[in-house]
Amino acid sequence: MTVPPPPGPPWGPPPPYGQPQYGEPQYGQPQYGQPAYGQPYPPPPPLPYPNDPSDPSFGEAPRTNWWAIVSLIFGVIGGVLIALVCGVVGLIKAKQYRSGRGMAIAGIVLAAVWTVGIAVFLVLAANSDRVTATDVKVGDCLAEIPDGERVLTVKTISCEEPHAGEVFAVLMMPDGDFPGQAEVEAYHERCSPELVAYSPQSMLDESVQLYVLYPTAETWDNGDRAVTCIATLDPPRTGSIRG
């Protein structure tokens, strides 16, 4: 006959103070998959730096932007149209080629400078043979006869080239107040005797007519006293009528 062991306590002894009960996580230790208490999440991976092997463009050399080079060359030598077109294309390609932006801009700027310079030259060249109407002299030949009521300049030309008029007299009116338009225009009558003295044969030539430039009230105040007698030639002819 065996004697059964004495019955034990219904529960085990309580755990020491500060230790968690069975099945509870220990205080101060994170559960699985969670960061420890008081520690931040890990930082994101850094962005690639230039020349970083992880950069997709690492090792890719800039391509030659020939559009920009051609634009700069023609901008220097004055090829305005080519410099402008290639410069615009070079700017568009600069991002793709990773080069040439500065040269393309320089080519466009030079093309603009050439354009302005050529325009100024043409304007000056067109007016180089124009003189103030009060500055013409006896014997000057005119490329054309002015057709406006107010004439400020005239275009002079060599008498050996076909010309439409020739100055044969310049009469100076006396100083003083403006005498009135009628008296000024009366000087027109004095031009005919001057033409007889300058070119007697012209009086018999029906293709030779008279054209007179005289002061106005406005030009008189600026010192204009000249009455300019001009023989018009229709059609234009070469050589002087003098003699």
pLDDT in tens, 168-207: 999 999 999 998 888 888 888 899 999 999 999 998 898 9
Q: What is the pLDDT of residues 95-135, one digit of tens each?
A: 888 888 999 999 999 999 999 999 988 887 766 667 788 88
Report the candidate in 195, 242, 223, 233 with the shortest Cα–Cα distance to residue 135: 223
Longest dimension (CA), the chain: 180
Does 6 have pLDDT greater than 60? no
pLDDT of residue 11: 47
The Cα 24–Cα 214 span in angstroms is: 122
- Using DSSP bridges, classify how beta strands 163-172 and 141-142 pair: parallel, antiparallel or unpaired: antiparallel
Percent of the chain with pLDDT over 90: 42
Q: Is the peptide bond before 42 cis (omega within 30 degrees of 0)?
A: no
Torsion of CA 112, 118, 123, 128, to 10 degrees: 150
DSSP reduced 3-state for 232: strand
Banded model confidence at residue 34, pLDDT cuts 50, 70, 90: low
**Using the 8-state DSSP alphabet, how is residue 10 labeled?**
S
The Cα 136–Cα 156 span in angstroms is: 8
Does 45 have pLDDT greater than 80? no
**Using the 8-state DSSP alphabet, how is residue 235 labeled?**
E
Reported pTM: 0.51
- Per-range mean pLDDT, top range of 12-26, 128-142, 208-222: 208-222
Half-sphere exposure of residue 53, counting CA atoms within 13 Å on the CB side? 0
107 vs 2, higher pLDDT: 107
- The chain-wide mean pLDDT, for the chain, equals 80
Percent of the chain with pLDDT over 70: 74
148 vs 54, higher pLDDT: 148
Q: What is the pLDDT of residues 63-94, one digit of tens each?
A: 888 999 999 999 999 899 999 999 999 999 88
pLDDT of residue 1: 41
DSSP reduced 3-state for 204: helix
73 vs 147, higher pLDDT: 73
